[in-house]
Structure formats: structure tokens, C-alpha cells
A and B are shown apart, each in its own frame.
Chain A
Amino acid sequence: MEFEQTRRIFEKARERFGEDVSLSDRPNTEGSIVVEPSRIRDFTRWVRDEADGGFDFFGEVCATDFLGRSPRFDLTYTVYSTTANRHLHYKTRVDDPDPQVDSVVDIYPGAGWHEREIFDMFGVRFNGHPDLRRILMPEHWRGHPLRKDYPLGGEEVQFSSNFADITPQTLPPAPGEDIFLGWDVLETQPSSYTQLLESGAELEHDGEGRMVINMGPQHPSTHGVLRLLLELDGENVVKAVPDIGFLHTGIEKTGESLNYQQALTLTDRMDYLSPMGNNLAFSLSVEKLIGLEPPERATVLRVIFAELTRIQSHLVWLGTHALDLGAMSAFFYCFRERDQILDMFEMVSGVRMMTSYICPGGLREDVTDDFVPALERFLKVFPDRLGEYETLLTRNPIWLERTQGVGKISAEDAVAYGVSGASLRGSGVRWDVRKAEPYCGYETYDFEVPVGTNGDVYDRYLCRIEEMRQSHRIIRQALSRLQPGPVQAEERKVVPPPKSEIGQSMESLIHHFLITTIGFVAPPGEGHVPTETGRGLLSFYIVGDGSPKPYRMRARTPSFANLQALPRMLEGCLVADAVATIGSIDIVLGEIDR
């Protein structure tokens, strides 16, 4: 989105909200509108319904702690329009002590978990939020980890078992000193599931015939460490409450302590089925912050790898999804092709999963000579292989029985919850970031965006199958465009000079030395580029402060938002359908918990 568009929307907002809105134009960004906290609900409603045709899709709200500034916290809302293909950032600013703002959960239901995450990580309270609890950290946790005055490392982990011992010495200073310690969470005991039910999950016990069961966190079909609390009436799911955070590794916090190249490696580990997609999203945001344009060959290769990643990610999804529902063989077929792709990853990056291959400025290195032949071999066989999968499943009566009409979600609900990717398109919303807000030249490729009609498990299945076919198409086109050339931008202040030069040139040696040891310096500003990964809308929101490290590295991950809609899909399902539904939204807990 261009700055001019933001300005146009701002001018309309000015007419409506007067002095309560202002325009923030930090460098290198598309700009954002800053709203007084008191008007945030009015403004959000206006943005959803009226502003420039309305922004129906809630991307995220994230916070940034500008310690030492008043007001201290920036809350940045990002909303998208699925019809007009654009997005908008708007901000509100809240201050210490007791930072709080009105919740927008009733306007955008999708804000629910994002607001909880901010409450958890920053201690900002959202008034009117129906279920404001910690979401990633345990209930008893003390302090808000993403605040800038929270230590970056070295402190002891607060388990419930050692909490009493470590409290006085190793926790952040007491209230009134520097660190705000949170509301009354200290009184809350470590959550047992019954307490969780009572504390806010709105589940009721009516005594007769109902029971609450734990599905996960050790359940094989939750695809990671997800815990679902299912309230059952017989075999029917009455309510489902996801409990996440078991895999929280503090990636956003860690990112603030690493320089940009090092932070890149965290993105691999976030969504481990889509490393290149994550690398790409991160690199695009950083490049936008710096104002850097990778060379043509790098862009084409990026498209190839992004689509290969999408295919391999879908293959894992398909294999395990079918396995969950008892179809064993699909798994072996899928992993056969996935291995071909991982072989290619290994060829170019030396690593099968944690590639860190796409990096700010282009690619780590050019592809090896055997890559293109390997890719061609893959492209040759893949359409047939795709046919094999379909033969196994698409008209298989058991498969149809298990998936059709199961886990339905309407298009309106899906949009409102911020569901993206095939999970959204299965409900008939034709919104794909590659088409809506193209990056890497996707607008120049010829491909279709498949959509479903019913929004059930089967339609999501069909969408992903077709997406693999379309990805195959895109790779073919990209391969035909691949020309020799550099794969890294010619900006020596960001991209280290080639190794061959550093034995000859002092200038090159110094640049190589500093970029490697300390990191390149990104200017103050913000970078944000939405991308479409196998799971949906992934974007990094990078705040630079003129140092080699990101001041804030926020990841808006598709699985996080998609999982939020799961309870909606599960209402009225059978327990067995829960397995099918979880599989169909293709979550990766690594990127949900980060």
C-alpha cells in the first residue's frame, strides 16, 4: 500500500474524527494513522465499514514498547480488504502506568487472541475483552516478557515448582521500580484444566451427561503440542477451548537480541514446514525497511523456492491429515515427493529444513549446478504424483464421509476471525496475498486461486490439492525466466562483499568483517510486507532503530489466527471430527507459540 493511499484515508478520517487522528509517516513505510485511544472503537468500526470501501479482514494488532518515550506503547492494528486488495495500518498509543485501551473484539472477533497476546507479553489491558488471560506464558508467570525492561536472558525460568524460590532474587524489580508486574495473575495458581474452565472459558457444567476431556497436549493428531479442552455431550462437541503456548520459545524477544542476519535463522524454526516462506517474509520486511531491491535472478529463485516450500508443506499436511483419518498410504506417497524437495533444499543451502537460504538482499548463495536438473526432474513427475494422491482420496467414499460437511465455517466468520490461506478459500473467499498484494513479481505469473463453496474439511482439501498444481505452474514459468546474474543486491553496506575479495581489498574486508560480526545497520523506521505461505497470511513487522538489531520483530503467523477459529468450526461436531478439522486447518504449533 502506498503512502498516498494512507494519506487519502487519513484525510477522510480527519473529517470524521478531527484532531483525534493524525498521520504518522515514519520513513520507508506506507505510513499509518494514529488514533487517540479513546476513539479506537469508533475508528475501528469506521475502518471496517466505511473507510475507503471498508477493511473486512483483521490481520493483527501488535504492540511495541518504546521504553523511555511517553506514551510508552504503540499498538499497531493491521487490517486488510479482501475485496479491494489493500491493507491499512493504524496505531494507538497507551502509556504507563496501567496501560489500557478498549477492546475491539466485538468489531473484529479475530482480535481476541491478538489482544490476549499483548496483555500477556506487554501488560496492556483491553477493556471489554471477554476473556483477557495470558495466552502464551503460563498463568502464574510474573512480568511481561516483550517489554524492553524485561531481561533478555540469564534469568531463571519460572516453573510452578521453583516459583517460590526464585521470586525474590531473579525476577524483575518490584512494582514501583521499573517493571510493571501484571495484574492479579500472581494470585492465580498454575492452571489446572478445571480452573481454566472456570476462569474464563465460559464452559458450563450442567452436571448431567456432560464431560470435559483433554485432547492433547500429547495427542498425535493435534500436530504439535496443542491442548484442546473439549466439552462433550455424549460424543458431540459442545465447546472447544484451545490452550496454546506449550511451544513458546520467545522468538520475538530473542530476535531483539540478535542482528538481522541472525534473527533470520529464528524464522526457520518458527514454522518448520515452511522455512523458505518464513525467510522470504522476513527478508522482504527487512528489505522494505532498508529500501533494498534484490536482483532479478534472486527474485525468480525466491518464487521458485517459495512455491516448492508451499508444495512440500502441503505434502506434509496431506500425508498426516490422511493418516489422522486412517488413510495410511497417502503418507508414504507424499513423503516420497517431499523428500525430493528437501533434497533440493539441501543442495542449495546444505540443510534440509532450517535453510536460512533467502536472506535480506537476495539469497545466501547462488543455486548449485545440479539444482535445475533436479528441479526439472521433480516438475516432470509431480503432476502424475498429484494424480496418484487424488486417486487415493478425492473420490474415496470413506474420505468423503469423513470430510464432507465436517468442520464448516462460513465465509463471513472466516473473514471476521482473520482466517487465511486455504482455510479461508475453502469457504469461498477468493483472497490470496500473492494476487491481492503481489510481491516478488507474482502479478506477472499466470496462476489461479482455487476456492471452495462449503467451507468444510473436504473443500479445504480440494483447495490445497489444486494449490499444489498451481504452484507447479508457477515454478515452470519461473524456471523459464531464470537468467544468469547476481543473487545478492549490490549494496555493500548490507550484503557482505564476496569472500574472494577480502583477501585483496581492505574496504571489502572491513565491510565483510563488520557485517558479519556486528551486522548491517538498518535505519529507524518500520518494514511490513504481507506474504502468502502454505498456511496463509504471514507478515513480519520490523521496527528498526538505526542499530544492527531489530528493535521489534513481530511475526503475524497464519496458524495463530486460523486456530482461533477452530472452536467455531468444532461446534456440534463429533469428537472424531475434531481430528479431521484440526488436520484441515493445517496448523504448525511452532509458529503459533513462537
Chain B
Amino acid sequence: MSEELVTLTIDGVTVRTAPGTLLVEAAAQAGILIPVYCYHPKLAPVGACRMCLVEVEGAPKLIASCTTPVREGMVVYTDNQRVKKAREGILEFLLVHHPLDCPVCDKGGECPLQDFTYQFGPSRSRFRYPKRHWDKPLQIGPNILLDRERCIMCFRCVRFCEEISHHRQLGVFRRGNNQEIGTFPGQPFDSRFAGNTIELCPVGALTGAPTRFFGRTWEVGHTPSVCTGCSTGCNIRVDTRHGSEVVRLWSRENPATDDGWLCDPGRFGYGFVNEGRLEEPLVESGGQSVSATWQQAIARAGAVLEQHAKAGTLGILASPRMTSEELFSVSKLARTVLKVPHLDHTARYVHPAAVDLRAFAASAGFTPGTLRDIQDARQIITIGVDLSREQPVTDLRVKKAVTQRGAHLVVVDAEELELSAFSRHTVLWQPGDEAATVMSLANAVASPSEANGMRAVGELLRQEGPKVVLLGWRIGESPDAGRIGESLAALAQALGPGTRCVTILRHCNSRGALDLGIYPAEDPVSGRGMSGEEMLRAACEGRIRALWLVGEEPLQDADPGLVRRAMDNLEALVFQGWSLPSWLERVPDAALPSTTFAEMDGTFTNTHGRVQRIFRAIRPKGKSRPGWDIVNDLAQALGHPFESRTVEAVFEEMCAATPAYRGLAWNALGVAGRESQADSAAAAAAAAQG
């Protein structure tokens, strides 16, 4: 910061701050609260609500502190009679048409309109006429309800749609007393970021349809956690009632992962915690599932695992939505007790070389990067990943880099994506042609002469500046994925050293599953294990006769016909998870209920390797228990009891055994998490090579 700081006085306090800082921000730095409605640190200022009026010496009128940058020597009063009177007046205007809804409004208790009225507003009404009435609530989108009477016209929602999500679905209609927020005729507000407007809304005008009447704010408990929707690892706050039910997820800003936003699939995707749960252990008896005690179910499961492990006919599929501690326990049981090599976390066909996408990228010569690198990048290249669908919140980051800082985006994929609208170039590949396309791109960047139709994109990517490559798992599905390694190496070479690469994995703990070795690896004793898809095929052929399913996700994306055939052919099935999958027609020999993220402590590792804590928010449903605890019991039943009896001990053991996690400490993770070591080590290695 070589810039000179500006000195000004706010309420007699001398504040030194960077030029360009807005008055309202400078006041906040000095610990002085200026009430605001339309101002939001992530949105461009508009000065619409007039709540933040302050007096500046020399200015004839009160001015809006949210649109006024600081000036040297400014003398500002935020609390004198004139300002107080203005605030009272503004609040009185805002309340004129505000409906008497507090007792039934979701916002009541956490509402800035209430809070500022109590702190700064009048305590009596002078308005004696009927209030304006409108139909309400309007369902303007699948997740959003609009109550126009409550709206105070701060435009935060409209500005969010214009500036942040770039889904321009909300607008301001009519003028004056009849002014309203609304959608365009016939167009629903179905943006996948719509839920953020609920949080932005300073009153209860926009409320979430799924979370409507979730409870009163003061009887809701808050627990920090991590979203399990995708691998971004957005930080969330889990809101609970009675310690037994999740009623709402709220954003919890962490610049390293989410930048303060959530997507709707994540925000509203908590239903599986409350409903349809497997609440007690089940065992098979006479072709039926009957409830059992934990001892019975563990004994049954242990017997199945032991028998088939000895016979070499056991396969283990673990869900990448389990916590790292659970996955570590499963892996430990598989490798040290059962000695089974067939262990995977996904049933999708992936080329063996590309199984571990992050290693794949590192071997190509990219420097491992983080999601945060996107915001400093000059050039952003996405390869084989549709961020808008797979990692919506990262999509917002890319949009922000492009629109606010003018970063250049190049999309490489099989079809035009939503992000293509923001890209300078979209490079399309034909299915089967992925490697060749990436290779031509690399050539175009490396030498202008070879630019066969990619001259412009090559020129663009040759420009100086930090570069980030976002690499999607779909390239690993390509039939010629074997050759894509060399194409990527060529691209890394062409883009130059220091090009960062973030591999975009699919599930919330896919990265953890990779770090912990939940994939078929070459084993010196038992040979190469089978991948998920290979296990299913082997099951059809009778080579795998028992499966231990830990969670349901591994099979979610697999070919349903293959899954059905495999299940029918199996001799035995042990299921462990929070609900029996709907597609599972077969009666499992033992079903072990495990807890969801809301009911336990643990860690997830996000797509770029940030290890983040989840905290127990509610009591476990029924008799469900954390997966690591269940595995502990299985180990005990198999005669090899594990020593780690608490989640913290499992974590410490995991960190000691996993190079990527070395040096992490349970208590030091805090609520924001820590980066794992793999990236920094790999970066050091790459730097040494370069």
C-alpha cells in the first residue's frame, strides 16, 4: 500500500483510511455504526434508501455516506440532532406502508428494519391512513416468495441479480407509491442463486419457500458447518430447532471457499437430514428387513465382510460425501483388517490414469492452485467442467473476475456453456477428440504459426499475467483420456511456469477420498484392486459376491441397469448410510444407520484441498451413529479393535498417516479450516523443477 492514507474525523474520532473508501466503511473501521439498508459491501453503492445520511461540515445538506468517498480533512457527524432527526424521518417513511407482520414474518428477530427502528427510529406512528395492500405472498420462483408490502426498495435483490449472479430476472417496476420489485412477465425467478436474495433482503419481503415459517429466530440454534452439495466446500451456518431438526442453511462467509454466497441446491438441499432416514439397524431375516440391535447388526455385517474378504469376493464402495474420518476408518479397516484391494469412491468409468485428477494435473506440470486464485487471475481457462451446474459458487467467482476485473475467460468443452457468455473464446471439442483439442490449444499458445483456427485464443493466452486452469473430472471419462495427459503437459508448458490448476471434483469430500486413498491402487500383496465400475461388472459375472456400500452416492451416477444386475447377482450386501436408497430393491443383509453432516463432528476436504470442520448441530436421528464409530465396532467384531475412540483421535491418526494432512491439528482448524499440505509441497516441488 504505497498510497497515501486519507485522514478524516468522524464524530470526533480521527480515522486514517485508504482513498476511495466510502464514508460508511470508514466509520465502520472506527467502530461507528451507521445504519444502512441499500448499502452492501459486495454490491455497488446506489444511495437508494437514504438511511445512512450523515452531516459533513461544509456540505449544505445531509449526504448519503454509502455513496460518498472519504476526502482529506473531512469532518463528519453521524450522531448529531440533525442526523438523528433525518434518520427518524426516513424510518417513519419506511414504516408508513410496512404491514403489521412482525408476529408472522420469518425475518422478525433478525430484521434490520426492526433493529434500526428500535435503535434510531420513532416509537409512535403519526400516519393515520389505511396502509397500501397488495396480494401476498407471490411465489415468484420455485424457492422464493415475494411480499411487496414489506419491501423497502433497497434494490439489493435486483442489484444482486445484475451484478453478482448475472441472472437478470428481477426488476423494479412502476414509480412512487406503487413502485414494486418483480419478475418479468411470465418469467420465474428461478436462478440457482435466488436464495441469496433472502439473506440480502433487509426485511421479510423475500423469504424462502422451503424454509417458510421455520421457527422464530430466537429459538433457533446456529452451528457452523460446511455445505455437502458440491466440492466447493462453502461454509454454512446450520440453523436448528429443538436440537433435533435442521430448519435452514445460511451462508457463512469464508473468502477461501465461498466468498459469502450459496447456491440454491446447497441452501435448500438439507431435506435428507430430516426425512426418510434409516433410524435403526436392520438385518435380513427370511427375505425381510427386520429391526435389530446394534450388536446383532454389527455381528451380521462383520460375518459377511469377514467371509467374503477371505474368499476375495468382497468389494467396498464408499461415498465421497462421508467425512474424512469416516473414510479413513473404512480405508483402514479395508486395508489392515479385511485386506481387500477393491475399494473405490465412485462407480463412474474413469480412465485409470485420471482417477486421481489432482495428481494428474500436478504431473502435467501445473502448480496446484486454490479457488481464491481465480480472483487474482488474468486468464481463466475451464476445461471439461460446467461450473455453473457443478460448482455454482465458483461460477460466481469467475463471473466476478470477468465482469469486475476484466479477466479473460476461455471455455474448453463439448458444448456452449452458460459461462461461454462471459468468455472471450469457447473452444469446442468433439466427443472423443478431447486430447487432440487440448493439444491444438497448447500448440496455438506455444507458437502463433501453428494456430490452425485458434490464433486469437492463442494470442490471448500468451499475454502476461497470472493464469488459472480449472480442470473438470469429465476429461477423465473421455475414452482417450490416456492421451490427455500429454496434451495437458503441453498446455502447462505453453502457458508457462506458475500456471495454477484447480481440479474441480464432484462431491463434497471427493478430494478427501483421493487424499485418503479411497481408489483402487496397486497393492504389492493383493495386486491391483477393481474400480467401482469394474466391481459392478465383476458382480454381474460372479467374481465379486458381496458389496459393502458406505453411503449411496457411489452408485448414483452409474448405469442403472448395470447396478440392478449387479445387485441381483450379489450374495450379500452390507449397507451403511443415512437412508436406504430408493433404487435399492434388494434386502441388505445388514443396514447400519449412520449420521449426516448435521449430526456429527468431522472434516471435509474441498476440491482444492482445504480441510474444514463440521460441527454437530442436532442430536443423531434414531439410533444412527457416526460412520467412524460404526467402523470401530466392526473392527472390534472382527477381532482387531482400533485404538482411536473419539473423532478427534481418528483425525489425529488420519493426519499422522496421510502426508497431505500432516501438521494439521483438530483444535487449530477453527471454523474456517486450513489448507492441507499437499499443495504447498507440490508447489515447492514444481518451483524446484521450474
Contact = CB atoms under 8 A, between A and B. Distances in A.
Interface of A: 492-493, 497, 502-511, 513-514, 517-518, 521
A503 B100 contact: yes
A507 B218 contact: no
Interface in B104-151: 108-109, 113-115, 117-118, 121-125
A508 B124 CA distance: 6
9 contacts: A497-B123, A504-B125, A505-B125, A506-B96, A510-B113, A510-B117, A511-B117, A513-B114, A521-B118
A509 B102 contact: yes
A507 B119 CA distance: 12
Nearest to B122: A507
Nearest to B111: A510
A510 B102 contact: yes
B573 interface: no
Q: Which 4 pairs of residues, A with B, have the shortest CB-CB distance? A: A492-B123, A505-B125, A506-B95, A513-B102
B114 A510 contact: yes
Contacts of A507: 92, 95, 117, 121-125
Most B CB contacts (10 A, CB to CB) among A507, A509, A521 go to A507
B103 interface: yes
Contacts of A506: 95-96, 98-100, 125
A508 B113 CA distance: 13
A435 B416 CA distance: 88
B216 interface: yes
Most A CB contacts (10 A, CB to CB) among B102, B109, B118, B121 go to B118
B124 A510 contact: no
Contacts, number: 55
A70 B125 CA distance: 46
B109 A502 contact: no
Contacts of B122: 507
A509 B99 CA distance: 10
Nearest to B100: A509
A508 B117 CA distance: 10
B85 to A, nearest CB: 15
Given A493-B118, A507-B122, A511-B123, A517 B216 contact: yes
A497 B102 CA distance: 15
Contacts of B102: 509-510, 513
B125 A508 contact: yes
Contacts of B98: 506
Most B CB contacts (10 A, CB to CB) among A503, A504, A517 go to A517
A358 B127 CA distance: 33
Given A506-B96, A508-B125, A517-B109, 17 more contacts: A504-B125, A506-B98, A506-B100, A507-B92, A507-B95, A507-B122, A509-B100, A510-B102, A510-B113, A510-B117, A511-B123, A513-B108, A514-B118, A517-B218, A518-B109, A518-B218, A521-B118
Interface residues of B, number: 22
A511 B118 contact: yes
A504 B126 CA distance: 11
Contacts of B114: 510, 513-514
Contacts of B218: 517-518
A492 B98 CA distance: 20
B240 to A, nearest CB: 15
Most A CB contacts (10 A, CB to CB) among B92, B113, B122, B125 go to B125
A503 to B, nearest CB: 7
A290 to B, nearest CB: 14
Contacts of A514: 114-115, 118
Binding site of A, secondary structure by majority: helix, strand, loop or mixed? helix
Nearest to B95: A506
Interface in B214-229: 216, 218
Most B CB contacts (10 A, CB to CB) among A493, A504, A506, A510 go to A506
A509 B95 CA distance: 11
Contacts of B118: 493, 510-511, 514, 521
Nearest to B114: A510
Contacts of A518: 109, 218
Nearest to B115: A514
B61 to A, nearest CB: 26
Contacts of A521: 118
Interface in B618-672: none
Contacts of A511: 117-118, 123
Given A502-B100, A513-B108, A513-B114, A508 B216 contact: no
A510 B91 CA distance: 12
A497 B92 CA distance: 17
A511 B113 CA distance: 11
Contacts of A493: 118, 123
Contacts of A502: 100
Contacts of B124: 492, 497, 505, 507-508
Contacts of A503: 100
B103 A513 contact: yes
A509 B96 CA distance: 13
Nearest to B108: A513
Contacts of B113: 510
A505 B97 CA distance: 10
A502 B108 CA distance: 15
A518 B111 CA distance: 12
A514 B92 CA distance: 17
A573 to B, nearest CB: 54
Most B CB contacts (10 A, CB to CB) among A492, A508, A510, A518 go to A510
Contacts of B103: 513
Contacts of B117: 507, 510-511
Contacts of A513: 102-103, 108, 114
A502 B115 CA distance: 17
A497 B114 CA distance: 15
Interface in B176-233: 216, 218
B294 to A, nearest CB: 21
A521 B120 CA distance: 13
Contacts of B108: 513, 517
Interface in B54-95: 92, 95
Nearest to B105: A513
Nearest to A514: B118
B28 to A, nearest CB: 18
A493 B216 CA distance: 22
A260 to B, nearest CB: 15
A216 B125 CA distance: 60
Contacts of B95: 506-507, 510
A507 B124 CA distance: 5
A505 B96 CA distance: 9
A38 to B, nearest CB: 35
Contacts of B100: 502-504, 506, 509
Nearest to A512: B102
A125 to B, nearest CB: 30
A508 B98 CA distance: 12
A387 B133 CA distance: 68
A543 B92 CA distance: 33
B30 to A, nearest CB: 17
B129 to A, nearest CB: 11
Interface in B341-391: none
Nearest to A502: B100
Nearest to A504: B125
Contacts of B115: 514
A510 B121 CA distance: 10
Nearest to A511: B123
A513 B107 CA distance: 12
A493 B123 CA distance: 8
A4 to B, nearest CB: 27
Contacts of A505: 124-125
A178 to B, nearest CB: 12
Nearest to B125: A505
B345 to A, nearest CB: 33
A492 B118 CA distance: 9
B547 to A, nearest CB: 37
A493 B99 CA distance: 21
B521 to A, nearest CB: 38
